[in-house]
Amino acid sequence: MKRERIFQTIKSLLPSSSNWRAVLLSIGAATTFWFFNSFNQNYTASISYPVNFVFARENFVIIEPLPEEVQINVSGGGWSIFRKTFGFNLTSGNITLEQPADVKKIVGSGLLPIISEQLKELRVNYIITDTLDINIERKKSRKLAVSIDSVAISLEPNYLITSSIKSFPDSVIVTGPESIINQLPTGLPMAIEETEIDESFDEFVEFKIRGYTQPLLEIEPAEINVQFTVEEFVRFSSKVSIHSINFPKNTFLKDSIVEVDILMRKDNQNDLIQDSIIVEVDFNNLQIDSTILPHVIRYPVIISSIELDTTSIKVQYE
């Protein structure tokens, strides 16, 4: 019973449903009046003002992104500040750079006359932004030879490049910031990014400079045709008899056979004749410690490389 009385009391204090519309209209009218009255007054505020740098962009390279806005303190009517704060009818202020590559910093206070001229609806009190950093360089182009280092090409194990590396065209034109272009070598190292190559190569490859990051560089042409031959090789050891020359009587080698390490094309391995490899020791080259250095005197052209696995052989006397 007590709870019902409380509910009835609260209900009696509230306007009837027919009066709710009038109440809301009154509140809306009061709010609107306050809003318009407030915006007709003068205010001081800090706002962001967009800026645009004017220069011959086709002749220069922007190294780091240019500032897009400055913070300024302004005074003026509430409506004007409101529109500028939220970007209504706000055009970017133009900052002209006569010599863009020579300008590294712009002091914020120096922009006051420029922005004041372009933002006539408001009074610009001062520039809040202290300094604008500028990093622009002159654009330069150079024609450079293409250089491809076989050592930098990734091959499958036991595969080797057996021809010269050709590129078509053999030169490119590189355009970019003057400081970077001046540092590039005359033979521009090209990166071949394909890995574990196990067959002859003849492909168009995007030109990327090996060892350089190049987001600011333009290369023409963008792709180069690269060609080279790849073959499979085998590496193995073989025992070879030693030829002795100028040895006196009763003098001989402790070991008459030496091992050699051979590298050759796999396709030619069955064509190798063992006696075609000649290793020689000359007694006239006898060392103080009674040893002689062996030398490979001759081997067939199908062998790409050959190495002895020993550096000296002991000489014995009867």
What single-letter DSSP state applies at residue 97? Answer: -
Local confidence band at 88 (pLDDT 50, 70, 90 cut-offs)? very low
Give the start-to-end residue ranges of the domains of the chain: 42-134, 139-228, 233-317
**4, pLDDT greater than 70:** no
**318, pLDDT greater than 80:** no
Cis peptide before 169 (omega within 30 of 0): yes
Residue labelled with tokens 């970017």: 92
Biggest CA pair distance of the chain: 141
The pLDDT, as a whole number, for residue 30 is 46
CB atoms within 10 A of CB 144: 18
Is residue 64 a contact partner of residue 88, using CB atoms and an 8 Å limit?
Answer: no
251 compared with 78, residue with greater pLDDT:
251
The pLDDT, as a whole number, for residue 271 is 86
- Helix H or strand E encompassing 125: strand 123-127
Same fold, 139-228 and 233-317: yes
Local confidence band at 313 (pLDDT 50, 70, 90 cut-offs)? confident
CB atoms within 10 A of CB 65: 7
**223, pLDDT greater than 50:** yes
SS3 for 221-239 is CCEEEEEECEEEEEEEEEE
CA 89/CA 73 separation, integer angstroms: 18
Task: List Cβ neighbours of 11 (8 Å cut-off, separation of 6 or more).
Answer: none
Task: Read off the pLDDT of residues 137-157 as tens digits, 9 standing for 90 and up.
Answer: 999 999 999 999 998 899 999
The pLDDT, as a whole number, for residue 2 is 53
Task: Read off the pLDDT of residues 30-87 as tens digits, 9 standing for 90 and up.
Answer: 454 444 444 455 667 777 888 999 999 999 999 999 999 888 888 776 555 555 555 5
CA 57/CA 174 separation, integer angstroms: 18
Please state which CATH number belongs to domain 139-228: 2.170.120.40
Local confidence band at 3 (pLDDT 50, 70, 90 cut-offs)? low
Task: Read off the pLDDT of residues 256-296 as tens digits, 9 standing for 90 and up.
Answer: 889 999 999 998 888 888 788 999 999 998 888 888 989 99
Distances (CA, A) of 113 to 47, 57, 88, 236: 17, 24, 22, 82
User: Mean pLDDT of all residues in the chain?
Assistant: 83
CA-nearest of 263, 298, 258 to 277 is 298
CA 242/CA 259 separation, integer angstroms: 10
Local confidence band at 186 (pLDDT 50, 70, 90 cut-offs)? very high
Residues facing 44 on adjacent strands: 75
Q: What is the mean pLDDT of residues 90-102?
A: 87
**7, pLDDT greater than 60:** no
Which contacts (CB < 8 Å, 24+ apart) does range 208-212 have? 209/184, 210/149, 210/152, 212/184
- Maximum average pLDDT range among 23-27, 223-227, 244-248: 223-227
**Sign of the alpha-carbon dihedral angle for 126, 127, 130, 136:** negative
Task: HSE, CB side, 13 Å, CA atoms: give it for residue 274.
Answer: 10
Using a pLDDT cut of 90, give the percent of the chain over it: 44
Task: List Cβ neighbours of 248 (8 Å cut-off, separation of 6 or more).
Answer: 283
The pLDDT, as a whole number, for residue 289 is 86
Q: Three-class SS of residue 253?
A: strand
CATH architecture of 233-317: Beta Complex (2.170)
